[in-house]
Structure 1
Amino acid sequence: MLRSIKVRDYMTTHLVTFKADTDLYRAIGLLLEHRLSAAPVVDDQGRLIGLLAEADCLRGILSGAYFEQTGGLVGSCMNAQVETVSPDTSVIEVAERFLRGGHRHLPVVEEGRLLGEISSHDVLLAVKEFAQHEPGHAANG
């Protein structure tokens, strides 16, 4: 049953992350280099403290331009209110949350520590693999 498939089995664990004291322009460069729209911000213990998205970067740049300052730090631009998911959450619940909240990615957190990320792509992969192993479902390639 799809509800028994857990986030931990499909999440991505190799992530680009930032620290609050990362230079904003360096963070923008890494987002562009890795073709990411957002990345988690963690403290020295690996606890999730925020998320830096493209829109946050734009706000930081515009704010700096308004005050005739350049640069800044990720911590001053990041969103500290981040929706997360547990590694033991079912992929069906994650799919429902994606549809409700308009998200395409959610950080996976356990006891405050960032473990990885689950994306809509990961959920579709889980569904595809499940369908290929279900009796009566033909795998179309």
Structure 2
Amino acid sequence: MAIKSFQGARRQQNNTTDDIPFSVSDYMTKDLITFTPDQTVESVMQSLITNRISGGPVINDKHELIGIISETDCIKQISESRYYNMPMQDATIEKYVTKDVDTIDGNMNIFDAASKFVQTHRRRFPIVENGKLVGQISQKDVLKAAMQLKGQNWK
């Protein structure tokens, strides 16, 4: 008695992933809005509002990463200014910059980066090469990557 298979013909799978981008550098933002430590808190707040961003890297004149300034950092300045009744027109961000910054390697796999976002609860990671800021990856960039890779890898 012959056994018949009811499984249809299988589609030939293309298993080459050489042309599919998987690294952080493929999805990072390279054209960044950056800040300098001598900028005023008010100018940074205006830039955050105008550009609809929640923070950004702070760099020196050599394009080296000093830290990150965020909406929360600016709110701290507002709070202190009001509490101590001190005007903030000339207050610079230098005192409020978060200097202990986690960075990500541009060669890291995008899925490993997603895991790092989950573990650290960060919203963005700068990418530094040879001491210079070259880009930034955000949670939104990882979401975009996942949607692009969905058709390639996830069925």
Give me the TM-score of the superposition, normalised by structure 1.
Answer: 0.86
The structure number with the bigger radius of gyration is 2
1:10 equivalent among 18, 27, 34: 27
Aligned length: 134
Matched AA of 2:121: G
Deviation at 1:117, TM superposition (A): 1.0
Matches within 5 A, 1:1-141: 5-71=22-88, 72-134=91-153, 137=155
Distance 1:41 1:81 in 2: 12
Matched AA of 2:58: V
Matched AA of 2:51: H
Distance 2:54 2:143 in 1: 20
Deviation at 1:116, TM superposition (A): 1.1
Distance 1:36 1:117 in 2: 13
Structure 1 residue ranges without an equivalent (≥5): none
Aligned residue for 2:149, secondary structure, equals helix
Distance 1:78 1:122 in 2: 23
Deviation at 1:104, TM superposition (A): 2.5
Distance 2:152 2:116 in 1: 25
Distance 1:36 1:127 in 2: 21
Deviation at 1:62, TM superposition (A): 1.7
Distance 1:127 1:41 in 2: 28
Cα root mean square deviation, aligned: 1.7
Structure 2 residue ranges without an equivalent (≥5): 1-16
Give me the TM-score of the superposition, normalised by structure 2.
Answer: 0.79
% identity of equivalent residues: 30
Deviation at 1:88, TM superposition (A): 0.9
